[in-house]
Amino acid sequence: MKKELFRYYSAVTEREMSAVVITPDTDGEHPILYALHGYWGDEHSLSDDSEICSVIEECLPDYTVVFPYIYISRSREKCTALDLLNSTAYDSFIFELTSALIPAVEKKYRLKDRERAICGFSMGGRESLYIAFMRPDLFFAVGAACPAPGLTPGEDRNFHPGQLKEEFFRPSTDAANYPKILISAATNDGVVGKIPYHYAEILDKNSVPHILQEIENGEHNNSSVARHMRELSKLL
């Protein structure tokens, strides 16, 4: 397993961006998993975690795993507050991913047979679901570890206008082409609370097949991400 910092130019942000890429020891084409960090994080937040790296080495040895920076804004390079303005910058990652990151990454790291998956933690989990639902043509599987609120309209400590109305909370394709979906809820998560269960309930209501993983005694941290990725590997 090799790890390197991958730099590329983004026409979305109009500056150089970077991602950490972990590659198998073998050359050639490989499936690719895009793994998204949470609020306040960066491309190193998950990729530098030893437990996550151990899971990749053990459970995803044939995968190229890409850890991008998902805060996307031309005017701001870093998140400045927990508010709607900054959340919108995370929501803009879908444009960065599809128009800049995927073409740049897959020009260097060759993709095997369109075997592309996406997962994320917290805000990254929210975005991974949104991206996979909006672009199911790109991903055959999606995972969300402790996904953040705001994917659907609602209010907790903040008001969330929602990226998708509940009736449209499903992949935008026919059921036969739905990606595999894994949502993980940590039972001791004091940050997003019951939001993962709420998302799973909406998927049930919309008749969307999915798996809900309960991480017993798990908290809102990288250890829960590692346990999520271990479970996700069974779907890949």
pLDDT tens string 103-118: 999 999 999 988 999 9
Q: What percent of the chain has pLDDT over 70?
A: 98
Q: How many domains does the chain have?
A: 1
- Residue 57 CA to residue 1 CA, distance in Å, equals 7
Give the CA distances from residue 210 to residues 53, 89, 108, 174, in Å, rounded to whole numbers and listed in that order.
25, 28, 32, 15
Structure tokens at 219: 């908290």
What are φ and ψ of residue 32, in 5° steps? Answer: -125, 135
Q: What is the span of the domain harbouring residue 196?
A: 2-235
For residue 116, the domain's CATH number is 3.40.50.1820
What pLDDT score was predicted for residue 157? 57
pTM (predicted TM-score): 0.96
Give the H or E element holding residue 64: strand 64-68
Statement: residue 208 has pLDDT above 60? yes
Crossing angle, helix 50-59 and helix 222-232, to 10 degrees? Answer: 10
Contact 183, 194 (CB under 8 A): no
- CB atoms under 10 Å from CB of 171, counted, come to 21
Alpha helix stretches (DSSP H) within the chain: 50-59, 84-91, 93-96, 102-108, 123-134, 195-205, 222-232
Statement: residue 160 has pLDDT above 90? no
pLDDT tens string 35-85: 999 999 999 999 999 999 999 999 999 999 999 999 999 999 999 998 988
